[in-house]
Amino acid sequence: MPQASSAAIGARDSSGRRPLARLSPAAVSWIKAIVFALALVPLGRLVAGVFLRSLGTNPVEAIIRSLGTWTLVFLCLTLAVTPLRKLTGWHWLLRLRRMLGLYAFFYAVLHFTSYVWLDQGLDLVAILHDIPKRPFITVGFTCLMLLVPLAATSTDAMVRRLGAARWRVLHRLVYVVAVGGVVHFWWLVKRDVTEPAIYAVVVATLLGYRLVSALRSRG
């Protein structure tokens, strides 16, 4: 039966002997709850920062930058689940993946919303002009659009409707989004590409791992 890949595989077929390899369902639920709460901390800090006026001279830039950074961080965390699971044998990590991916989408939406609202002042004409004209915005917007079907098909019911095989192919779009996210950041900075380069290395490592294991299992 082509069952849901996200939730079901988890703890069952784990064969690890290491102590963290097998966790009780209750422990996994706790971990999920903690990660869920921690993932809201960046947003909470920004909201508090606006009201405490502690975001510096240009709070709009600070907000948009931070939301973009956290989108990339959650994309990387989502992509790190499979390699980490395989390397450590902690199969319960898979139970966090959907939430991490949805947080990437959540921060991407907030990032875009803050650009539309705080940066452009809801000037739709200017925004529609900007999206095709500024390459880094074109790429960023495309990535956001690509995340929409992934978020929409993240429920168990949607996995069942699509079938695990098709669902998996569709969700490989996240590789494109991660690469696009780094390009978006890279094209945005004026001269100093140190920070985007760090994300480029992380994304390249996470995708490279998949490529290598795919080649190995084939050959």
Partner 1 sequence: MLIKRPDPIRPSEITPRDVYVRRRELMKAAGAAALGTLLPPPAHAEGRFAGARKSAYSTDERAASLKEITTYNNFYEFGTDKESPSEYAKRLKTSPWTLAVEGEVRRPRTYGVEDLLRFPLEERIYRLRCVEGWSLVIPWTGFELKNLIEQVQPTGKAKFVEFVTAYQPDNMPGVRLRILDWPYVEGLRMDEAMHPLTLLAVGLYGDILPNQNGAPVRLVVPWKYGFKSGKSLVRIRFVENQPKTAWEKAVPSEYGFYSNVNPDVPHPRWSQATEKRLGEGRFLPRIIKTQIFNGYGDQVARLYAGMDLKRYF
Nearest Cα to Cα of residue 6 among 74, 115, 100: 100
- DSSP assignments along 169-196, one per residue: HHHTHHHHHHHHHHHHHHHHSSS--HHH
Residue 83 CB neighbours (<10 A): 17
Task: Answer yes or no: are the C-beta atoms of 111 and 71 closer than 8 Å.
Answer: yes
**Count of all residues that appear for the chain in the document:** 219
Residue 130 CB neighbours (<10 A): 17
Site for partner 1 in 135-154 (CB under 8 A): 135-136
The structure tokens listed for 172 are 């490989």
Residue 64 CB neighbours (<10 A): 20
Nearest Cα to Cα of residue 173 among 39, 73, 79: 79
Nearer to partner 1, 40 or 211 (CB): 40
Contact call for residue 58 and partner 1 (CB under 8 A): yes
Contact call for residue 59 and partner 1 (CB under 8 A): yes
Residue range at the interface with partner 1 (CB under 8 A); choices 24-32, 130-138, 168-176, 201-209: 130-138
Contact call for residue 118 and partner 1 (CB under 8 A): yes
Residue range at the interface with partner 1 (CB under 8 A); choices 51-59, 90-98, 142-150, 199-207: 51-59
Residue 16 phi/psi, 5° resolution? -65, 150
12, 17, 190, 218: residue in contact with partner 1 (rule CB under 8 A):
190
20, 27, 38, 214: residue in contact with partner 1 (rule CB under 8 A):
38
CB of 58 to partner 1, least distance (A): 5
134, 160, 168, 210: residue in contact with partner 1 (rule CB under 8 A):
134
Contact call for residue 15 and partner 1 (CB under 8 A): no
Contact call for residue 47 and partner 1 (CB under 8 A): no
Q: Which residues contact partner 1 by CB under 8 A?
A: 38-39, 41-42, 50-51, 53-62, 66, 73, 118-121, 123, 126, 129-130, 133-136, 187-192, 194
